[in-house]
């Protein structure tokens, strides 16, 4: 029950923070793109959380714990959070002052990309029971090299890049997209730092790196 209430509390807190930032900066509850994004984000999150609570409560507990220990990763998390806050504020202000005109087809396409990315994110969690929000090597952890992990070494980060870059378009703001673009470089820093730890502490990871050459995007990087 402690895990249940912790998950519900973080879910509600996240909902209130995102809604407050979007609608206060927009100056109106009639910000339709804001409601679309909230539905796309929190409905799947609630469903996924319920599934994890029933099927894999230990993984849910890991996903709720985002406290990083290493200095580099603390900086990555803090900077990522700052980017999202700024991006949401800019999107709301964009709506208030009518700075962007994002066509409906682009919003629909971004919404589809968002949901597909979320589905891939869920699939990664199904494949990797050791998936934690903080960088660590857990007791008994082994290298996962099948499924999406056979395509790129960090499929979760690949999914989140598409997920987060689709957010500003869903919100109907080209200006907010500029705020979200640095996330790609932040993820690159996180991956490079994470691989140093995995190569050092996770048995078999060096061999896995030779087998799966690309970190994030096949044939690119």
Tell if the pTM clears 0.75, that is, is over it: yes
- 190: pLDDT strictly greater than 60: yes
State which of 111-115, 137-141, 189-193 shows the largest mean pLDDT: 111-115
H-type alpha helices, the chain: 2-26, 32-55, 57-64, 71-97, 104-127, 155-170, 174-180, 183-201, 205-211
pLDDT of residue 69: 63
- With a pLDDT cut of 90, the percent of the chain lying above it is 40
Which pLDDT tens digit goes with each residue over 149-164? Answer: 888 999 989 999 999 9
- Helix/strand/coil for 103: coil
Instruction: Express each pLDDT in 98-118 by its tens digit.
Output: 999 999 999 999 999 999 998
> Phi first, then psi: what are they for 171, rounded to 5°?
-75, -5
Q: Indicate the class that CATH gives domain 2-130+142-211.
A: mainly alpha
């Amino acid at each position: 029950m402690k895990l249940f209430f912790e998950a519900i509390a973080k879910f509600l807190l996240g909902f209130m923070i995102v809604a407050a930032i979007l609608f206060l900066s927009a100056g109106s509850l009639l910000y339709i793109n804001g409601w679309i994004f909230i539905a796309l984000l929190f409905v799947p999150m609630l469903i996924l959380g319920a599934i994890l609570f029933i099927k894999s409560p230990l993984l849910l507990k890991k996903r709720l714990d985002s406290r990083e220990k290493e200095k580099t990763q603390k900086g990555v998390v803090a900077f990522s959070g700052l980017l999202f806050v700024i991006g949401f504020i800019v999107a709301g202000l964009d709506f208030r002052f009518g700075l962007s005109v994002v066509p409906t087809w682009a919003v629909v396409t971004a919404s589809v990309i968002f949901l597909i990315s979320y589905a891939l994110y869920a699939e990664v969690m199904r494949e990797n029971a050791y998936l934690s929000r903080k960088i660590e090597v857990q007791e008994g952890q082994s290298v996962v090299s099948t499924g999406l992990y056979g395509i790129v070494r960090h499929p979760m980060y690949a999914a989140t890049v598409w997920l987060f870059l689709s957010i500003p378009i869903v919100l109907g703001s080209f200006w907010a997209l500029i705020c979200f673009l640095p996330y790609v470089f932040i993820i690159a820093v996180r991956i490079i730092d994470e691989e140093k730890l995995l190569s050092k502490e996770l048995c078999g990871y060096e061999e896995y790196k030779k087998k799966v050459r690309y970190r994030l995007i096949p044939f690119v990087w």
